[in-house]
Amino acid sequence: MDDAGTTDLDGTWRIHAGERELTKTFAEPDHDDSAWAELVLPAHWRAAATLHSHDGPVLHRRRFERERLDWGRRAFLEFDGIFYFGDAWLDGDYLGTTEGYFARHAFEITEQLLTDEQHVVAVEVANPRQSDRTAKRTVTGIWGQWDAIDPAWNPGGIWRPVRVRETGPVRIARCRVLCVEAGVSRARLQIDLSLDAGQFPPDACRLDLVVNDESGAILATSSRELALATGTTDLRAEIDVESPPRWWPAELGDPQLVHLAVTLDVDDRTSDHCRLRTGLREISIDDWIFTVNGERLFIRGANHGPTQLDLAAASRDDLRRDVELALAANLNLLRLHAHVTRPELYDAADELGLLLWQDFPLQWGYGRSARHGAVAQARSMVDLLGHHPSIAMWCAHNEPLAVDDTGTTVTPKLLARLATAMFLPSWNKDVLDRSVAHAIAAADPTRFVDRHSGILPGPASFGTDSHLYFGWYHGTADQLPAALRAVPSLARFVSEFGAQSVPHTDDFCAPDRWPNLDWSDLEGAHCLQRRRLDDRVPAGAHATFASWRDATQRYQAALLQLQIEDLRRLRYTPTGGFCLFSFADAHPAISWSILDHARVPKLAHDAVRAACRPLLALVDPRSGLVHVVNDTRRALDGAVVTVTVDGREHRFGGDVPPDSIVYVGTVDLGGAGSTPVVTTSLVHPTIDRIDHTPAPQITNRRRQDSLRVV
């Protein structure tokens, strides 16, 4: 037990598959668990060899010793994350149930700790598979259904820390922190608290707030006396910081952080406390144009799933590395796709200045029974994450389409179901999503809430952000601009686009078996959408696995570079940014990622990094139009752009304002079907020379295996 009165219950637990008779007795303190398997928690239960393919439920037990509580003190058993349902006991006494994989739960155990020193905590955990994936019950997002993860994986278990925490007579049951104002002269933090005074509230109670900068210097203090009633009291406190150190995305400034200490004193003794690190900033999104502290920012982002399939096993360094790799790829935002991840990633994004788009874990179709749990968990998400300055926005539901698999072969029946789900009113879009979005917005009025992602404009809706897979699910890669011209509302923010490719870390493919790969296993466990990939890069056209692999990577790189540059040319007119699909794999996969599961870059990674440089000269490979895009806050007066086409040099000179895109001129790229070698360079005394190879011209052929990337 540490000085704060906390007993850490992480470590070795006993686990056993749930069995009908065993579940009736396993919670009894004298139950013999000596023959049970051991598992070091936090962990998903499949980390245990005896349960490597088990779908639950699973029984967990742990014995611990603790000194008896002093009178007047209270104790709580706290779970940071049980995936997904939990029933908890202490010393044979039933404590209660939990629901939601990322939500925190606490149970009072004062009575047990007042009378004994030897204790047994027992938890039954279940994460049932959803038999009808068009009407799912559990709010698990990508873990319940996704085409970029192994569907056989079950993440059930006690996957986040467990502890016994001691408090005084009043406990801080909830502490939600939001930055509601962050001007140059003053910032304001809003703290929403739920204070649990139990059955005997104290006569006097004082709430103290202190804000420190990272050096420890005090920036602001606040104190108030409280009168509490029996049970739970909800209250709101605010604290102002004068001349605040503001948090910025790395691209715009210094991501300065501050520390908030919330202390509750009863009779001049600390009863409970809460300490959080946060940032002082304002983020607004108006028609998908992002503004941070009054500065516009064009979003260059990527969708990101879990760092590892076994997320509990991912290290702090693994999670931080993904943030560092995103910034190194010239991205300024990651969309955490339909999942809540580990706190270390949010901490790293705060520290390093990477914006996050946080999805609530709703993915595709849900049944009516999911609504109540989803609304409660939406509030829990804001409680858990609202203090992170890196989180720019929330999204309530990704693609609320009640279909079993959007990656299947396109048939008239599937198209009809997709159109019905997309354009007509539905329970998912109009009831579930409205309820969840309202709960998020009520809990956090400071951030934009996207009710649902990927809904196209139609008769009953203006649409939201767009998922446009030209060159993969439909059409060809070079058709994106034509679609955006035809329907400009599609261009406001394109939050998914891309194509699959085969990674360099390819042992799981057994390439020595080429061409007789285990295609069924690659499709079932490793995300391959074979018919779609074969339509773009036919495997039969390649004599070796390496030739096919490299061709898939060339196609993916060309598509992403072309479409990123197309979107950057529409900067703010009307495009606010993009999120490519996707950033990195959680397990061995043939997927849309630009980094494989070992974080080895594909060819697309370098193409994305080049196309996402904040300062860049662009040539449209179809029209020869030349632009300079400048996402920085510095002006380039007298810049020189050189475009070389098959050795012929074209020079343009002029000024490039900050935060702008400038039309430079037009170059002749030859007639239809020509593939000239084109390079560009941007030169200015205040910057290093920037050389760039424009996106290759992609023709309107369905099969693109011979695409040349120069």
pLDDT for res 5: 85
Q: d(Cα 174, Cα 538) in Å, to the nearest integer? A: 55
Q: At what angle do helices 316-328 and 343-352 cross, to 10 degrees?
A: 40
- Averaged pLDDT score across all residues of the chain: 93
User: Where in the chain are the domains?
Assistant: 6-167, 171-278, 297-612
3-class state of residue 554 by DSSP:
helix
Q: d(Cα 341, Cα 391) in Å, to the nearest integer? A: 13
Asked if residue 72 has pLDDT above 70, the reply is: yes
Quickly count: other Cβ atoms within 10 Å of residue 52's Cβ. 9
Residue 678 Cα distances to 32, 149, 481, 568, 649, angstroms: 74, 38, 21, 19, 10
40-68 residue pLDDT tens = 999 999 999 999 999 999 999 999 999 99
CATH topology of domain 6-167: Jelly Rolls (2.60.120)
pLDDT for res 4: 58
> Architecture of domain 297-612 in CATH?
Alpha-Beta Barrel (3.20)
Q: What is the pTM of this model?
A: 0.95
3-class state of residue 627 by DSSP:
strand
Q: Are 28 and 92 in contact (CB under 8 A)?
A: yes
Per DSSP, the residues of 210-241 read: EEEETTS-EEEEEEEEE---SSEEEEEEEEEE
Residue 389 Cα distances to 179, 293, 571, 576, angstroms: 8, 12, 25, 20
In 317-404 the beta strands, taken as DSSP E runs, fall at: 333-336, 355-359, 391-395
Confidence of residue 403 (pLDDT cuts 50, 70, 90): confident
Asked if residue 704 has pLDDT above 70, the reply is: no
> Architecture of domain 171-278 in CATH?
Sandwich (2.60)
Asked if residue 707 has pLDDT above 80, the reply is: no
| Helix (H) / strand (E) containing 379 | helix 371-385
Tell me the residue type at 653.
G
* Sheet of 171-182, strand order: 171-182, 186-196, 232-242
349-370 residue pLDDT tens = 999 999 999 999 999 999 999 9
> 328 CB contacts (<8 Å, ≥6 apart)?
609
Burial of residue 673 (CB within 10 Å: 0-12, 13-18, 19+) is exposed
Asked if residue 2 has pLDDT above 80, the reply is: no
In the numeric block, which tokens belong to residue 592? 């849309």
3-class state of residue 69 by DSSP:
coil
pLDDT for res 705: 37
